[in-house]
Amino acid sequence: MPSRTVLAVAGWATAAVAATLTGLAAVQVIGDGITSSTEGGVLTPEQVERQLASATASPSAGPSTASHTPTPTSSPSAGGPSATTVKEVFSTPGGTVIAECDGAVVRLVSWAPAQGFGVERAGAGPDEHAEVRFEGTAGKVELRVRCVSGRPSGSWKQDD
């Protein structure tokens, strides 16, 4: 019996060493991709400024969702929204909504309930107004969005 225990411990130790070496090898291989530098070292302030300048000069791959102010974005004009739509982020106790206006028509781009809430219903549009209703243990929160002068404008109410 003692030889089985020794064999099991040796097998476990071998597996642990193999897993550690595999992890270290993987980090070594992808290390340059993580740091975005050929040396794998710290970037100088000049390198940071150059990378930031090149990043802001290129168009973004998707819509900005972190903004709290209306954001004009370009959209394809063939069968879609007009050349300029304006997006706005609305935060409520029940969740967060991103809405966009194309003239007087509003559309909910996305919505995400806050922790403890779920989406009871959503009327995403496009229409004269759009709404989403979040429901959770703290009550119900309803957000209604419409376009005022081409910009999303929202109001919400909370029922206990």
Q: What is the pLDDT of residues 113-159, one digit of tens each?
A: 988 898 888 888 888 989 999 999 888 999 999 999 888 988 898 88
> Does residue 142 or residue 57 have the better pLDDT?
142
Task: Return mean pLDDT, the chain.
Answer: 74
Which pLDDT band holds residue 69 (cuts at 50, 70, 90)? very low
**Extended strands (E) in the chain:** 71-74, 84-92, 95-102, 105-113, 117-123, 129-136, 139-148, 151-159
Query: Which whole number is the average pLDDT over 18-37?
Result: 67
| Closest among 149, 94, 147 to 121, alpha carbons compared | 94
Residue in the structure block whose two tokens are 């291989």? 29
pLDDT of residue 140: 92
What phi, psi does 26 have (nearest 5°)? -65, -40
* The residue to which tokens 């209703």 are assigned: 133
Cβ burial of 135 (10 Å; 0-12, 13-18, 19+) is middle
Angstrom distance (rounded) from CA 97 to CA 102:
17
Report if pTM > 0.85. Answer: no
* Beta-bridge partners for 72: 86
Q: Is the pLDDT of residue 102 over 80?
A: yes
For the beta carbon of residue 131, count every other beta carbon within 10 angstroms: 20
In this predicted structure, what is the pLDDT of residue 58? 37
**CB of 87 closer than 8 Å to CB of 151:** no
Tell me the per-residue pLDDT of 32-49, one tens digit each, with 9 for 90 and over: 555 444 445 566 777 777
Query: Is the per-residue pLDDT at 57 higher than 80?
Result: no
Q: Per-residue pLDDT for 59 more than 80?
A: no
What is the distance between the alpha carbons of residues 149 and 103, in angstroms, rounded to a whole number? 7
Assess whether pLDDT exceeds 50 at residue 77: no
Q: Does the structure show a pLDDT above 60 at 88?
A: yes
**pLDDT at residue 132, rounded to an integer:** 92
